[in-house]
A and B are shown apart, each in its own frame.
Chain A
Amino acid sequence: MIFALRRILVTVPLLLAVSVFVFLLTDALPGDAADMRFEKHPHLKKEWRERRGMNDPTMVRWWRYMSGVVTRFDFDNSYLDDQPVGRELGNKLQATFELALFALLVAILLGGAVGILSAVFPRTPIDYFGNLLALAGISMPVFWLGMLMIVFAVNVLGLPFSSNRFDPTLDVDEFTTHLFLFESVFRLRFDVFWSCVGNLMLPGLALASIPMAVITRMTRSAMLEEMGKDYATTARAKGLRNRSVILKHVLRNALIPITTITGLQFGTLMGGAVLTETVFSWPGLGRYIVKKGVDGRDPPVIVGGILLVATTFILVNLLVDLLYAVIDPRIRRQA
Chain B
Amino acid sequence: MKGRRWRTFRRNKTAMVGAGLVLAMVVMALGADWFARFDPETRQDAFRSPPNATYWLGTDENGFDVFSRLVHGARASLWTAFAAVGFALVFGVPLGLIAGWRGGWIDSAIMRFVDLMLAFPSVLLAVAIAAVMDDSSLTTVILAVGIVLVPQFIRQVRAAVLQVRNLEYVAAARALGAGDAAILFRTVLPNCVAPILVLATLSTGIAILDAAGLSFLGLGPPETSPEWGVMLTKAFRYLRHAEQWILLPPGLAISLTVLGFNLLGDGLRDAYDPRQSP
Contact between chains at B262 and A139 (CB < 8 Å): yes
- Measured between beta carbons, the chain B residues less than 8 angstroms from A220 are 278
- Measured between beta carbons, the chain A residues less than 8 angstroms from B229 are 141
Contact between chains at B258 and A275 (CB < 8 Å): no
- Measured between beta carbons, the chain A residues less than 8 angstroms from B251 are 140-141, 144, 147-148
Contact between chains at B132 and A28 (CB < 8 Å): yes
Give A residues with C-beta under 8 Å from B.
14, 17-18, 21, 25, 28-30, 135-136, 138-144, 147-148, 151, 155, 217-218, 220-221, 267-268, 270-272, 274-275, 278-279, 286, 289-290, 293-295, 302, 306, 309-310, 313-314
Contact between chains at A139 and B259 (CB < 8 Å): yes
Contact between chains at A138 and B262 (CB < 8 Å): yes
Q: Secondary structure at chain B's binding surface: helix, strand, loop or mixed?
A: helix
Contact between chains at A155 and B244 (CB < 8 Å): yes
Q: Does B212 contact A (CB under 8 A)?
A: yes
- Measured between beta carbons, the chain B residues less than 8 angstroms from A17 are 112, 116
Contact between chains at B116 and A275 (CB < 8 Å): no
Q: Does B160 contact A (CB under 8 A)?
A: no
- Measured between beta carbons, the chain A residues less than 8 angstroms from B255 are 136, 139-141, 144
Q: Distance in Å from the Cβ of A14 to the closest Cβ of chain B?
A: 6
CA distance A160 to B209 in the complex (A): 29
Q: Distance in Å from the Cβ of A148 to the closest Cβ of chain B?
A: 7
Contact partner of A135 (CB less than 8 A), chosen from B121, B239, B259, is: B259
CA distance A302 to B205 in the complex (A): 27
Within 8 A of A (CB), among B216-244: 216-219, 229, 232, 236, 239, 244
In the complex, 29 of the A-B residue pairs with CB atoms within 8 angstroms, ordered by the A residue number, are A14-B115, A14-B116, A17-B116, A25-B132, A29-B134, A30-B134, A139-B255, A139-B259, A140-B258, A141-B209, A141-B212, A144-B255, A147-B236, A147-B239, A155-B244, A271-B121, A271-B123, A272-B123, A274-B124, A275-B213, A278-B217, A290-B127, A290-B217, A294-B127, A294-B217, A306-B120, A309-B121, A309-B124, A310-B120
Contact between chains at B262 and A294 (CB < 8 Å): no
CA distance A270 to B217 in the complex (A): 16
Contact between chains at A286 and B116 (CB < 8 Å): no
Q: Distance in Å from the Cβ of A168 to the closest Cβ of chain B?
A: 22
Nearest-neighbor residue (CB-CB) of A225 within chain B: B278
Contact between chains at A274 and B127 (CB < 8 Å): yes
Nearest-neighbor residue (CB-CB) of A274 within chain B: B123
CA distance A268 to B125 in the complex (A): 11
CA distance A268 to B148 in the complex (A): 13
Nearest-neighbor residue (CB-CB) of A224 within chain B: B278
- Measured between beta carbons, the chain A residues less than 8 angstroms from B27 are none
CA distance A274 to B214 in the complex (A): 10
- Measured between beta carbons, the chain A residues less than 8 angstroms from B209 are 141
| Count of chain B residues with a beta carbon within 8 Å of a chain A beta carbon | 39
Centre residue among B128, B229, B254 by max chain A CB count within 10 A = B128
Contact partner of B123 (CB less than 8 A), chosen from A30, A275, A310, is: A275
Contact between chains at A268 and B121 (CB < 8 Å): yes
Q: Secondary structure at chain A's binding surface: helix, strand, loop or mixed?
A: helix
Contact between chains at A143 and B216 (CB < 8 Å): yes
Contact between chains at B244 and A294 (CB < 8 Å): no
CA distance A155 to B218 in the complex (A): 26
Centre residue among A14, A139, A218, A290 by max chain B CB count within 10 A = A139
Contact between chains at B124 and A271 (CB < 8 Å): yes
Q: Distance in Å from the Cβ of B232 to the closest Cβ of chain A?
A: 6
- Measured between beta carbons, the chain B residues less than 8 angstroms from A29 are 131-132, 134
Q: Distance in Å from the Cβ of B237 to the closest Cβ of chain A?
A: 10
Contact between chains at A141 and B213 (CB < 8 Å): yes
Contact partner of B120 (CB less than 8 A), chosen from A30, A148, A293, A313, is: A313
CA distance A17 to B117 in the complex (A): 10
Q: Does B178 contact A (CB under 8 A)?
A: no
- Measured between beta carbons, the chain A residues less than 8 angstroms from B217 are 274-275, 278, 290, 294
Q: Does B263 contact A (CB under 8 A)?
A: yes
Q: Does B53 contact A (CB under 8 A)?
A: no
Contact between chains at B121 and A21 (CB < 8 Å): no
Contact status of A306 and B124, CB under 8 A, knowing A14-B116, A141-B232, A278-B216:
yes
Contact between chains at A294 and B116 (CB < 8 Å): no
Contact between chains at A294 and B278 (CB < 8 Å): no
Q: Distance in Å from the Cβ of B81 to the closest Cβ of chain A?
A: 13
- Measured between beta carbons, the chain A residues less than 8 angstroms from B115 are 14
CA distance A309 to B119 in the complex (A): 9
Contact between chains at A267 and B112 (CB < 8 Å): no
Q: Distance in Å from the Cβ of B162 to the closest Cβ of chain A?
A: 19
Contact between chains at B116 and A21 (CB < 8 Å): yes
Binary contact track B126-170/A, C-beta < 8 Å → 1, others 0: 011011101000000000000000000000000000000000000
Contact between chains at A271 and B213 (CB < 8 Å): no
CA distance A217 to B116 in the complex (A): 28
Contact partner of B247 (CB less than 8 A), chosen from A25, A151, A218, A221, is: A151
- Measured between beta carbons, the chain B residues less than 8 angstroms from A135 are 259, 262-263
Nearest-neighbor residue (CB-CB) of A290 within chain B: B217
Q: Does B122 contact A (CB under 8 A)?
A: yes
Nearest-neighbor residue (CB-CB) of B135 within chain A: A30
CA distance A286 to B112 in the complex (A): 26
Nearest-neighbor residue (CB-CB) of B208 within chain A: A141
Q: Distance in Å from the Cβ of A304 to the closest Cβ of chain B?
A: 12
Contact partner of B254 (CB less than 8 A), chosen from A144, A270, A272, A313, is: A144
Q: Distance in Å from the Cβ of A266 to the closest Cβ of chain B?
A: 10
Nearest-neighbor residue (CB-CB) of A312 within chain B: B121
Nearest-neighbor residue (CB-CB) of B124 within chain A: A271
Contact between chains at B218 and A295 (CB < 8 Å): yes
